[in-house]
Chain A
Amino acid sequence: MEILQLENITKSFFQKIAVDDVSLSLKEGEIFGLLGPNGAGKTTLIRIINRIVTPEKGIVRFKGDMMTGKSLAQIGYLPEERGLYKTMTVYDQAMFLGRLRRMSKSDVNSSLNFWLDKFEIGSWKNKRIEELSKGMAQKVQFICAILHQPNLLILDEPFSGFDPVNVELIQNELISMKNDGKTILLSSHNMKSVEDICDRAALIHQSKKILDGQVVDIREERKDGRFAIKFKGNMLGFANALWAGFELVEHIEHGNNRHTAYVKLRGENTFQDLLKVLLGQIEIESAWEVLPSMQQIFIDLVKRTA
């Protein structure tokens, strides 16, 4: 079932179009990546979903009904430009933001304790934000965004400023939330994260949506028939083993007689045929079909439409 539907959303600021006729839909229990270069209109779109900005045209539906102020109680939002009240304690901050999300005091309390324990930061509860490091404050921000157990969580650049350990921590948490049936809308420049955790993605460029679909499908559709073989042995031996049915397109030497070679198939040949001709000639360490990275697809598309 679709939890969020955007239909033909258009918004401009002082005659400058920020979002141009964008339609999207998010299914329950998926992680959706919203991609796009800076200034493409992603943040405006997210603000429209959160009812911070009103669109000139178009409809936003939440669980099939028109989005209202009450729907916001089921949405969690972590904006790109985020902050906290520096002089408030973690507890007071969470209590204030939770109460704004229509939670009762006892619910805020128990939910906060749960998350603080889960992130093993229970001792921070009565610390003022100004006493915490940037990374610590970001964890608190994340907790404040999910405190009310939202059905839809919107994260704008959630990994910016996090160290790799915390990126993994947040990623794991998002996957766990998805497994619990929550939906996550993720706007990010971190393409690796999008590849790793997003089920579907859309690309916004110059205020328009130019791509939308399953991440796997997007990458599958753009593959160019290349396969990679990582092996130990002689490169000449590898090249000789290939016959007319295969084309060596790229080669990377790693040293210590180790190489990665990129090969295209010709005619009716398959990946299995390639492996068959190589077996016995070289020592294959790994082999895989090369799919374009989301980063590559992103750059190609943006350049093409520029």
Chain B
Amino acid sequence: MRISWLVAQRELLERIKTRSFISMAIVGPLLVLLITYILFVLGGNDKSNWKVLIADPANIMEAKILANNNGSISYDFANNYVQLEEFENGKRFQKYDVLIEVNEKILINKTAYLFYREKPNFSTSMTMQFQLERRLEEVLAERFTKMTVQDYRRIKQPLTVGFRNLYDPKNESTTLDSWVGFFFGGLILFFILLFGMTILRSVSSEKSNRIVEVLLASVKPRQLMLGKIAGIGIAAIIQLGLWIIIVSFGLFVIRETLFPDMLDASKWDVAKMAKEVQNMTFQQQLNRSYGYNSFVELIYDRIQFDNMLFYFLIFLVAGYIFYGTFFAALGATSGSENDGQQFIIPIVLLLLIALWAGYYVLNNPESSLSFWFSMLPFTSPMVCMVKLAQGYNPGEGYQLFVSFGILVISSLLTLRIAGRLYTNGILQFGHRLRLNQFVKWLRNG
């Protein structure tokens, strides 16, 4: 263990001293922030006016929604049930773009459904969700508590809004929360690929510069492989930690400086607003601010970060070890630094399948294929993040632990198999890697 740790330390130091590591740690998250900013600045208005009908038969919202309507979205209320077919074809509903169904169950399950004729863009979706949720907070705080809305917001459960196509209402929900899961899963795959390639390069360069034989006189091949995977893995986690810190801080800074929370009543300057309210730029800003702040709120409040980050980390580590062993074995068995390139394709293909599986589960959370994707170690690091964000059905929470268990056992198994390939291949130089060699080296224990 001590020896593996020494190898890991060396790898770690070598990684974090490189310029590419430092630039990735800074440029990567800045790029994420820039894309987020552009998404909200440029992607603000795809359609200038959205007419929304809120079907509220129980009159929960009392025909009120945020007092300062921002202009691009206007709301009407119906105090009766509106059938989807009726909304789809009825003449009097044709002027509405969106139907939001708020029934009495919302007080219990905190879920509302939004049916659209044409899909609103991200910013508009967020604004609708934000406005609906704010009004519901007021109602809930007033009806069921003696708290102020501000206090209630601190303890409330988030509202889930299922965005569904009116013409395909059975389609399973792809809520924003699920996309957050997809983002996390994608991040795992991205880091596996990025640092898996680092493992591959590191092993093959040790082979090509022949230091490996000097090392093998003091280190067992498996120790060397483990140390290498661990060192590069720690570098990956440090990189990721920097990303999270910079992105979180950046989002906060953007919120405080570029998109101040105009909806927070405590910050309103009534006199100033009266002047500015006529101004179109102010209206646009307000609109963006709605979208952005709901997004930031989603990041800060809606995601159960302690929970999500914990599972994200353990799936990242297990998934990284699982795939990392393939990269290490490939590096050890290749005859030259470029030799392993062709064999990367199957691994990258597996990662792409995992990405696709995540998207599939996003859209089909209840299908049996989704279940199997969540169990397969190749796809589970991605799929489990999506499923976790979607929320496991009551009584099915154990599936997450089964998936993780399978992933850990598979990782141990691949460590063993890769260790054998590593041991047999690491001192073979100058050959062209062929598939039958893998089989030979696997058999030769």
Which residues on A are within 8 Å of B, measured CB to CB?
14, 47, 50-53, 69, 72, 75, 77-79, 81-88, 96-97, 99-101, 141, 144-145
Residues of chain A with a CB closer than 8 A to B6's CB: 96, 99-100
Residues of chain A with a CB closer than 8 A to B220's CB: 69
Shortest CB-to-CB span from A259 to chain B, Å, is 49
Interface size on B, residues (CB 8 A): 21
Set A14, A77, A78, A101: member contacting B440, Cβ < 8 A: A14
Give complex CA distance A50, B3 in Å: 16
> In the complex the two chains form, is B210's CB within 8 Å of A81's CB?
yes
Among A47, A85, A141, chain B packs the most CB atoms within 10 A around the CB of A85
Give complex CA distance A99, B227 in Å: 14
List 13 contacting pairs A-B, 8 Å CB cutoff, sorted by A. A14-B440, A50-B217, A51-B217, A52-B427, A78-B214, A82-B211, A82-B214, A84-B209, A96-B6, A97-B214, A99-B6, A100-B219, A145-B214
Residues of chain A with a CB closer than 8 A to B216's CB: 50, 52
The A interface is mostly helix, strand or loop, or mixed, namely loop
Residues of chain A with a CB closer than 8 A to B211's CB: 82-85
Among A53, A78, A99, A101, chain B packs the most CB atoms within 10 A around the CB of A99
> In the complex the two chains form, is A87's CB within 8 Å of B14's CB?
yes
Residues of chain B with a CB closer than 8 A to A145's CB: 214
Within 8 A of A (CB), among B1-58: 3, 6-7, 10, 14
Residues of chain A with a CB closer than 8 A to B7's CB: 100
Residues of chain B with a CB closer than 8 A to A79's CB: 210, 213-214, 217
- Give A87's nearest chain B residue, CB to CB: B14
Q: Does B279 contact A (CB under 8 A)?
A: no
Which residues on B are within 8 Å of A, measured CB to CB?
3, 6-7, 10, 14, 209-220, 427, 429, 440, 444
- Give A144's nearest chain B residue, CB to CB: B214
Set A87, A88, A100: member contacting B3, Cβ < 8 A: A100
Shortest CB-to-CB span from A223 to chain B, Å, is 39
> In the complex the two chains form, is A100's CB within 8 Å of B215's CB?
yes
> In the complex the two chains form, is A97's CB within 8 Å of B14's CB?
no
Give complex CA distance A77, B216 in Å: 10
Among B3, B7, B217, chain A packs the most CB atoms within 10 A around the CB of B217
Residues of chain A with a CB closer than 8 A to B444's CB: 14
Residues of chain A with a CB closer than 8 A to B427's CB: 47, 52-53
> In the complex the two chains form, is B429's CB within 8 Å of A100's CB?
no
Give complex CA distance A108, B440 in Å: 41
Give complex CA distance A97, B215 in Å: 8
Question: Contacts A14-B444, A96-B10 given: A75-B217 contact, CB under 8 Å?
Answer: yes
Residues of chain B with a CB closer than 8 A to A88's CB: 14
- Give A93's nearest chain B residue, CB to CB: B211
> In the complex the two chains form, is B214's CB within 8 Å of A52's CB?
no
Give complex CA distance A75, B444 in Å: 27
Known: A14-B444, A72-B217, A82-B210. 14 other contacts (CB 8 A): A47-B427, A50-B217, A52-B427, A72-B218, A81-B210, A81-B429, A82-B213, A85-B14, A97-B218, A100-B3, A100-B6, A100-B7, A141-B214, A145-B214
Question: Contacts A96-B6, A96-B10, A100-B3 given: A77-B210 contact, CB under 8 Å?
Answer: no
Residues of chain B with a CB closer than 8 A to A75's CB: 217
Closest 10 CB pairs between A and B? Answer: A83-B210, A83-B209, A100-B218, A77-B217, A79-B213, A81-B210, A83-B211, A50-B217, A52-B216, A99-B6
Shortest CB-to-CB span from B420 to chain A, Å, is 13
- Give A76's nearest chain B residue, CB to CB: B217
Residues of chain B with a CB closer than 8 A to A69's CB: 220
Residues of chain A with a CB closer than 8 A to B217's CB: 50-52, 72, 75, 77, 79
Residues of chain B with a CB closer than 8 A to A101's CB: 218
> In the complex the two chains form, is A81's CB within 8 Å of B213's CB?
yes
- Give B211's nearest chain A residue, CB to CB: A83
Residues of chain A with a CB closer than 8 A to B10's CB: 96
Shortest CB-to-CB span from A52 to chain B, Å, is 5
Give complex CA distance A81, B426 in Å: 13
Shortest CB-to-CB span from A48 to chain B, Å, is 12
Shortest CB-to-CB span from B434 to chain A, Å, is 13
> In the complex the two chains form, is B209's CB within 8 Å of A52's CB?
no
Residues of chain B with a CB closer than 8 A to A84's CB: 209, 211, 214
Residues of chain B with a CB closer than 8 A to A87's CB: 14
- Give B215's nearest chain A residue, CB to CB: A100
Give complex CA distance A84, B211 in Å: 5
Give complex CA distance A86, B14 in Å: 11
Give complex CA distance A82, B211 in Å: 6
- Give A69's nearest chain B residue, CB to CB: B220
- Give B13's nearest chain A residue, CB to CB: A92
Residues of chain B with a CB closer than 8 A to A47's CB: 213, 427
Give complex CA distance A77, B218 in Å: 9
Shortest CB-to-CB span from B314 to chain A, Å, is 30
- Give A145's nearest chain B residue, CB to CB: B214
Residues of chain A with a CB closer than 8 A to B429's CB: 81
- Give B216's nearest chain A residue, CB to CB: A52
Give complex CA distance A141, B217 in Å: 14
Give complex CA distance A77, B7 in Å: 18
Give complex CA distance A99, B440 in Å: 34
Give complex CA distance A79, B220 in Å: 16
Residues of chain B with a CB closer than 8 A to A144's CB: 214
Give complex CA distance A141, B14 in Å: 20
Residues of chain B with a CB closer than 8 A to A82's CB: 210-211, 213-214
- Give A88's nearest chain B residue, CB to CB: B14
Shortest CB-to-CB span from B258 to chain A, Å, is 41
- Give A129's nearest chain B residue, CB to CB: B209
- Give B424's nearest chain A residue, CB to CB: A13
> In the complex the two chains form, is B213's CB within 8 Å of A86's CB?
no
Give complex CA distance A47, B423 in Å: 13
Give complex CA distance A284, B429 in Å: 55
Residues of chain A with a CB closer than 8 A to B3's CB: 100
Give complex CA distance A231, B163 in Å: 108
Give complex CA distance A69, B3 in Å: 12
- Give B210's nearest chain A residue, CB to CB: A83
Residues of chain B with a CB closer than 8 A to A53's CB: 427
Residues of chain A with a CB closer than 8 A to B210's CB: 79, 81-83
Shortest CB-to-CB span from B165 to chain A, Å, is 55
Give complex CA distance A82, B3 in Å: 20
